[in-house]
Amino acid sequence: MSWNGIIDHYRDLLPISSKTPIVSLNEGNTPLIFSQDLTKTIGLDVYLKYEGLNPTGSFKDRGMTMAISKAKEKGATIVMCASTGNTSASAAAYAARSGSLRCIVLIPEGNIALGKLAQAMIHQAKVIAVRGNFDEALTLVKEITKKYPVELVNSINPFRIEGQKTAAFEICDVLGDAPEFHAIPVGNAGNITAYWKGYKEYQESGRSKRLPKMLGFQAAGAAPIVLGRVVEKPETIATAIRIGNPASWKAAVAARDESGGLIDSITDEDIIAAYKILAQGSGVFVEPASAASVAGIIQLSKNRYFQSHQRKKIVCTLTGHGLKDPNTAIKNVAQPLTVDADMKSVLREIGF
């Protein structure tokens, strides 16, 4: 059976009608990869939901197919978002795919990964770098889209959440039920909101029985939900989640509390350690923000949080592909050596 994207597959659980023009790049249906390496470390069965394998390399595509389809249905001509990079890459691609929508993106100057910038540009979005951070850019976008005929496609757009909840459906479909725990990075907090909505709806519709405890992780320098206050100058190496005032703050807290989970913070050091553990122990290359979910569960495991839950299932969402941010990868590993083009020199380097 061919896969034609999340709207086609989960149509009956999405606010879509026969009149909605579907704009899709066949997103979704991403692999759920069992990690032997992390299962050994954590003591739970660890599965990785590799969202970096979506068409533009991040989970945003699930939300964007919905937001762009609904914008087109409404007759919009321009869409706009603020972005730490992945939303802009996805919006730009889906706007191009729509064949009619113009796309405008505001990014924080100097703080978006190279691959994401390249994507927004090649898809011909109007890219505007602001001298400020994501939160300031989002405030501008909210004001502009309120006053002008421009459709907002950040995750405060409810159709984004609708699309993104399908990742939870896919996990239940593969595992036969929801896992006991779900770990996820938290930035603007749309995705944790979407997963929780998805898990609840699948249970209500009788397609799954269990509800997972939601475990959200923010970077220590950008952890407003953990601190309980806005962070004016968020800082982290994980630029995707360099956000100090998340739009879906309340919904994330509700997901945490209703599920009996938690939202915690991890240091940049631990994020980079988990980033390498994923690449080197599981063979999965993600961008730094995505490693937050794995860094988080390693930390919880060290604190014996999972002690009485041996062999239960935990799913970690890996939100974006490692190729988005090649600079961070190269900076954090040993550089390749250059040798003369002769057998002796090469063999010496291999250790023969």
CB burial string 108-135: b at 16+ within 10 A, e below: beebbbebbbebbeebebebeeeeebbb
Q: Which is nearer to ligand AN7, 189 or 226 (CB)?
A: 189
Q: Which is nearer to ligand AN7, 185 or 221 (CB)?
A: 185
Residue 17 burial (C-beta neighbours within 10 Å; 0-12, 13-18, 19+)? exposed
Given candidates 23, 172, 237, 241, which one binds ligand AN7 under the rule CB under 6 A? 241
Given candidates 24, 30, 58, 111, which one binds ligand AN7 under the rule CB under 6 A? 58
At 262, which helix (H) or strand (E)? strand 262-266
Give yes or no for residue 155 binding ligand AN7 (CB under 6 A). yes
Give yes or no for residue 87 binding ligand AN7 (CB under 6 A). yes
Q: Which is nearer to ligand AN7, 45 or 278 (CB)?
A: 278
Six-digit token string for 30: 């991403």
Give yes or no for residue 63 binding ligand AN7 (CB under 6 A). no
Give yes or no for residue 189 binding ligand AN7 (CB under 6 A). yes
CA distance 63 to 74: 17
- In sequence order, the 6+-apart residues with CB closer than 8 A to the CB of 318 are 48, 49, 50, 51, 52, 278, 284, 286, 290, 291, 293, 294
Give yes or no for residue 83 binding ligand AN7 (CB under 6 A). yes
Given candidates 125, 222, 253, 289, which one binds ligand AN7 under the rule CB under 6 A? 289
- In sequence order, the 6+-apart residues with CB closer than 8 A to the CB of 100 are 72, 77
Q: What single DSSP character describes residue 129?
A: E
Q: Which is nearer to ligand AN7, 227 or 346 (CB)?
A: 227
Give yes or no for residue 224 binding ligand AN7 (CB under 6 A). no
Residue at token pair 């996805």: 90
Q: Which is nearer to ligand AN7, 87 or 245 (CB)?
A: 87
Q: Which is nearer to ligand AN7, 63 or 179 (CB)?
A: 63
Q: Which is nearer to ligand AN7, 61 or 180 (CB)?
A: 61
CA atoms within 13 A on the CB side of 261: 29
Contact map string, positions 315 to 334, toward ligand AN7, x by CB under 6 A:
----xx--------------
C-alpha dihedral (215, 34, 116, 60), degrees to nearest 10: -60
Give yes or no for residue 190 binding ligand AN7 (CB under 6 A). yes
| Positions in the binding site for ligand AN7 (CB under 6 A) | 58, 83-87, 155, 185-191, 240-241, 287, 289-290, 319-320
